[in-house]
Amino acid sequence: MNLPNKLTVCRVILIPFFVFFLLFDPASVSFKWIALGIFVIASLTDMLDGKIARKYNLITDFGKFMDPLADKLLVCSAMIGLIELGRIPSWIVIVIIAREFVISGFRLIASDNGRVIAASYWGKFKTTFQMIMVILMIADIQNNVFYMLTQVIMWIALALTIISLVDYLVKNKDVMNGSK
């Protein structure tokens, strides 16, 4: 197993530890910062594995499958935990997760037709803003400026979620027809 794939597997392994520290004792300031640290480290592995894989031509089928899955598991686990902590409205998380299901299904149909749909810039911006949003929501610093920043980032992440969905569907509409 190459380094990018090991980083992806590491990200998946970190998820249960992250969720434990996020939710086990929400009143514990130490647990909050540990959860935040784990999330940041896991997010950084997402950035690193892709850069290393492209730079050293270490792209594998395992990585193509597991990297986006690991991202979805990490971000969705975080957002579901943040619903429980009352830091994000559930409807926003439902929209974000629904987008992930639609794109995953779309990619599955494309792969059945022999096509690979690569991540777009909109999708990468979406993931970046979702991760920043999660970081801000975990940190949960109690002041008006931080609250407003968190809200703005949340709305940007939601907008990018919808924009990236439309972008994928428009650019790849022929996939639904079974065209290659």
Q: Is the pLDDT of residue 120 over 90?
A: no
CB atoms within 10 A of CB 31: 16
Domain count within the chain: 1
Output the 3-class SS for the chain.
CCHHHHHHHHHHHHHHHHHHHHHCCCCCHHHHHHHHHHHHHHHHHHHHHHHHHHHCCCCCHHHHHHHHHHHHHHHHHHHHHHHHCCCCCHHHHHHHHHHHHHHHHHHHHHHHCCCCCCCCHHHHHHHHHHHHHHHHHHHCCCCHHHHHHHHHHHHHHHHHHHHHHHHHHHHCHHHHHCCC
Give the per-residue pLDDT at 55.
93
pLDDT per residue as tens digits for the range 87-119: 999 999 999 999 999 988 888 888 787 777 777
pTM equals: 0.91
pLDDT of res. 179:
56
The per-residue pLDDT for range 13-37, each reduced to its tens digit, is 999 999 999 999 988 999 999 999 9
Greater pLDDT, 159 or 168: 159
**pLDDT surpassing 60 at residue 178:** yes
Q: How confident is the model at residue 58 (pLDDT cuts 50, 70, 90)?
A: very high
**Residue 153 is part of a domain; what is its CATH number?**
1.20.120.1760
Query: Which distant-in-sequence residues (6+ apart) come within 8 Å of 115 by Cβ?
Result: 172, 175, 180
Structural domain boundaries, residue 36 = 3-177
The pLDDT of 59-84, averaged and rounded, is 92
